[in-house]
Amino acid sequence: MIIDIITIFPEMFQPVLGESIIKRAQDKGLVKINIYNLRDYSDDPNKRIDAPAYGGGGMVFQAGPVWKAVETILGNQEDQSRGKEKKILFTPKGKTLTQDKVKEFLNQQRLVLIVPRYEGIDQRVHEYLADEEISIGDYVLSGGELPAMVFCDSLIRLIPGVVSDRKSVEQESFQNNKLDFPHYTRPDNFRGLKVPEILLSGNHQKIKEWRKKEAGRITKKQRPDLLR
């Protein structure tokens, strides 16, 4: 999989995408991440990529630099992903990112992530350039950088071969519309707070049943909307 990220703050991505699971995925050749500075695609002498909104308001990303960046990046394709890419715009107007939504992108060969800032991006990008609009929640952030990082992390860890213990991925929260079951480790008695006896029994079938029951209990308590 190839992921192209278009942003005005490319340095923000390096600490996240260059560490841990995402770094290992790149080292294994399971994903290739390219980060592009949107200002490099501006025709303005000062590399401006934004302008005041018509009708009043804050600064808005112009359509021109974004379109040029996407066309240049995809025009330089020399691999089998040509014509099979999907362009994703991060915006509060988008569909909320869920585990099921993440899985929809697993079979894509190439993803182009458009990361806005300030008051947003020209509406024509929303309507005529982006294939998908994604939000990570009903709150306001300073820009789309963090949502793009969240998206990359949630997606890349699902790519086969990235996480060595596949079962751990399959048992995580939001699989089968349930939250994860409780986890405990040593010591089994911490300040009088004890690990449930069933987990110490060695009976794997009963432990499996307990975990399933607990996942349902926690989901019902914390996120009943998932059960609906």
DSSP three-state, residue 85? strand
Q: What is the DSSP string of 155-223?
A: HHTTSTTSSS-HHHHHTSTTBTTBPPPP---S-SEETTEEPPGGGGS--HHHHHHHHHHHHHHHHHHH-
Type and span of the H or E element at 125: helix 123-128
Q: Which fold does the domain 2-156 belong to in CATH?
A: Alpha/beta knot (3.40.1280)
Domain segments of the chain: what residues?
2-156, 171-227
Domains 2-156 and 171-227 share a fold: no
pLDDT for res 227 = 87
Encode pLDDT of 49-66 as tens digits. Answer: 999 999 998 999 999 999
Encode pLDDT of 164-220 as tens digits. Answer: 766 555 555 566 778 889 999 999 999 999 999 999 999 999 999 999 999 999 999
Query: Any idea what DSSP says for residue 141?
Result: -
Q: Is the dihedral of CA 95, 97, 100, 106 positive or negative?
A: positive
pLDDT for res 166 = 61
- Give the CATH architecture of domain 171-227: Orthogonal Bundle (1.10)
Whole-angstrom distance, CA of residue 225 vs CA of residue 163: 29
